[in-house]
């Protein structure tokens, strides 16, 4: 049996479809965010600017956060020492969960090793504990939520992206007596659009459903204290389970849910993804908590991020580049072709020392390949001018489409035939 050949063929088929992924070898420079050293295949290093980081506020390099991690590692050491059950629950982790419960004004919170794991564990466990439950899941939900839905083994109904009328239809067609769980995101990371949270909560109330929201791309960044879009819109109390990550806006690592005590206790007691894995190390918990607490009171990072996002969108639109309109900090620039998208990304790195990774299928639908730009509070106006110049030059050289109408076939315009589209974004 040619085992090696089987693996190579599998990867070759990705290459043939232009879906083979290459990772950039980057070394971030603490204190100089968003600058990093890039090493090419010959290991030659040069300085570049990162324009696609999910460390959305640069908190991964914030002095207070770094200090919390260093100080705690010095005092408590590095590892957690076991699962939460076997000597792994540590003081900083307990404090982190309190900080998160307070952030979302919920009775409790539960921390997992990643946002991915928190979605998979929480959705599957909650649904399994509800007898004969039906899960209503947005068509563009993240791979980790899809995984949770699958893992639960419960019946699922996929509603068209952000389509409240379709969700209502599906809810109305379901036996009133069956438990229902509606799973959706607040900010969708590839199109940067926002869910109609209030309308979904109204439906949940009308049909007696639980609501589960993934605020991964919003926590730290929206709301008076960084509680996300639900906080901004005054809707946190209408959501039963709020899920978030400690790795993006908060700049560290780990995932969590916040909910009432009964839900937290049930997931804590039943989810294998929580029970049978080593807890997050104390230093990491302390760093995450420092980041959350900082962002509860500081508006500077949020305000600057919004300012730089507005400036960037205006500059790129003005330069005739096909920027997809969004209400958030996410700025997609449409290319519409996998090979061209990769070529644009390569050119930006080679000629302009700018790193923006290409976003291709299956993360986004075919024909909507794009560069996904994430301006942060630490991208200066000069960096924005340099990015515009670089993009214009790449667009000219590759003769890429300029009209948003040509390329911006947004995911929301997909027909129901595409409902099974896998989404591996993140």
Ligand X SMILES: *Cc1c(COP(=O)(O)O)cnc(C)c1O
Q: Which residues bind ligand X (CB under 6 A)?
A: 114-116, 119, 142, 144, 185, 189, 214, 216-217, 245, 247, 255, 425-426
Distinct helix (H) and strand (E) counts, the chain: 15, 14
Dihedral Cα 263, 269, 275, 279, nearest 10 deg: 60
Burial class (CB in 10 A: 0-12, 13-18, 19+), 139: buried
Please report how close the Cβ of residue 214 comes to ligand X at its closest, in angstroms: 5
Query: Token digits for 124?
Result: 């599957």
296: annotated active-site residue: no
CA 377, chain centre distance (Å): 18
Please report how close the Cβ of residue 248 comes to ligand X at its closest, in angstroms: 6
Please report how close the Cβ of residue 246 comes to ligand X at its closest, in angstroms: 7
Collect all residues with Cβ–Cβ distance below 8 Å to 296 and sequence separation of at least 6: 103, 225, 226
Q: Which is nearer to ligand X, 244 or 322 (CB)?
A: 244
Tell me if 184 sits within 8 A of 139, measured CB to CB. no
Order the strands of the 134-138 sheet from edge to edge.
108-112, 255-259, 241-245, 210-214, 180-185, 134-138, 155-159
Q: Are strands 108-112 and 255-259 parallel, antiparallel or unpaired?
A: antiparallel
In 3-state terms, what secondary structure has residue 270?
helix
Query: Token digits for 44?
Result: 């030659």
Please report how close the Cβ of residue 107 comes to ligand X at its closest, in angstroms: 23
Q: Which is nearer to ligand X, 119 or 374 (CB)?
A: 119
Nearest to ligand X by Cβ — which residue?
115
Q: Which is nearer to ligand X, 193 or 214 (CB)?
A: 214
Out of 106, 180, 248, 342, the active site residue is: 248
Query: Token digits for 94?
Result: 């307990």
Q: Which is nearer to ligand X, 148 or 322 (CB)?
A: 148
Please report how close the Cβ of residue 113 comes to ligand X at its closest, in angstroms: 8
Rounded-to-integer distance, Cα 423 and Cα 364, Å: 7
Q: Which of 287-313 are b and which e, b meaning 16 or more Cβ less than 10 Å from the residue's Cβ?
A: bbbbbbbbbbeeeebbebbbebbeebb
Between vectors from CA 140 to CA 50 and to CA 116, what angle results, nearest 5°?
65
Query: Token digits for 181?
Result: 């769980």
Please report how close the Cβ of residue 193 comes to ligand X at its closest, in angstroms: 13
In 3-state terms, what secondary structure has residue 286?
helix
Q: Which is nearer to ligand X, 33 or 116 (CB)?
A: 116
Query: Token digits for 75?
Result: 């005092």
Please report how close the Cβ of residue 108 comes to ligand X at its closest, in angstroms: 20
Please report how close the Cβ of residue 305 comes to ligand X at its closest, in angstroms: 17
Collect all residues with Cβ–Cβ distance below 8 Å to 379 and sequence separation of at least 6: 34, 49, 51, 308, 312
Token match 């929206």: residue?
222
Enzyme catalytic residues: 248
């Amino acid at each position: 049996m040619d085992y090696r050949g089987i693996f190579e063929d599998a990867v070759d088929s990705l290459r043939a479809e232009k879906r083979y992924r290459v990772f950039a070898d980057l070394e971030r420079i603490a204190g100089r965010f968003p600058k990093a050293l890039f090493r090419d295949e010959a290991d030659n290093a040069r300085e570049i600017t990162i324009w696609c980081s999910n460390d959305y506020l640069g908190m991964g390099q914030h002095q207070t956060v770094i200090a919390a991690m260093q100080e705690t590692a010095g005092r408590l050491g590095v590892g957690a020492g076991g699962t939460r059950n076997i000597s792994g629950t540590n003081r900083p982790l307990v404090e982190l969960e309190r900080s998160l419960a307070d952030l979302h004004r919920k009775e409790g919170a539960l921390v997992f090793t990643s946002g991915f794991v928190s979605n998979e564990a929480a959705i599957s466990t909650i649904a399994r504990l509800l007898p004969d439950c039906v899960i209503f899941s947005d068509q563009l939900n993240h791979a980790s939520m899809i995984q949770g839905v699958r893992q639960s083994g419960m019946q699922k109904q996929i509603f068209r992206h952000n389509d409240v009328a379709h969700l209502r239809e599906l809810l109305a067609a379901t036996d009133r007596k069956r438990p229902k769980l509606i799973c959706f995101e607040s900010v969708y990371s590839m199109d940067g659009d926002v869910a109609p949270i209030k309308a979904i909560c109204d439906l949940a109330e009308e049909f007696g459903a639980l609501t589960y929201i993934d605020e991964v791309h919003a926590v730290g960044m929206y709301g008076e204290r960084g509680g996300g879009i639900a906080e901004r819109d005054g809707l946190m109390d209408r959501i039963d389970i709020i899920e978030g990550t400690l790795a993006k806006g908060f700049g560290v690592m780990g995932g969590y849910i916040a909910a009432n005590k009964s839900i937290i206790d049930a997931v804590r007691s039943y989810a294998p993804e929580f029970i049978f894995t080593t807890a997050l190390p104390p230093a990491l918990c302390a760093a995450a908590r420092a980041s959350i607490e900082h962002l509860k009171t500081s508006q500077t990072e949020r305000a600057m991020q919004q300012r730089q996002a507005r400036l960037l969108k205006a500059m790129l639109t003005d330069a005739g580049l096909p920027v997809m309109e969004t209400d958030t900090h996410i700025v997609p620039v449409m290319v519409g072709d996998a090979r061209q998208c990769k070529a644009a990304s390569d050119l930006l790195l080679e000629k302009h020392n700018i790193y923006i990774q290409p976003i291709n299928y299956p993360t986004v639908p075919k024909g909507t390949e794009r560069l996904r730009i994430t301006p942060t509070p630490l991208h200066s106006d000069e960096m924005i001018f340099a990015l515009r110049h670089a993009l214009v030059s790449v667009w000219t050289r590759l003769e890429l489409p300029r009209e948003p109408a040509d390329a911006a076939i947004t995911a929301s315009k997909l027909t129901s035939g595409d409902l099974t589209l896998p989404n591996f974004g993140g």
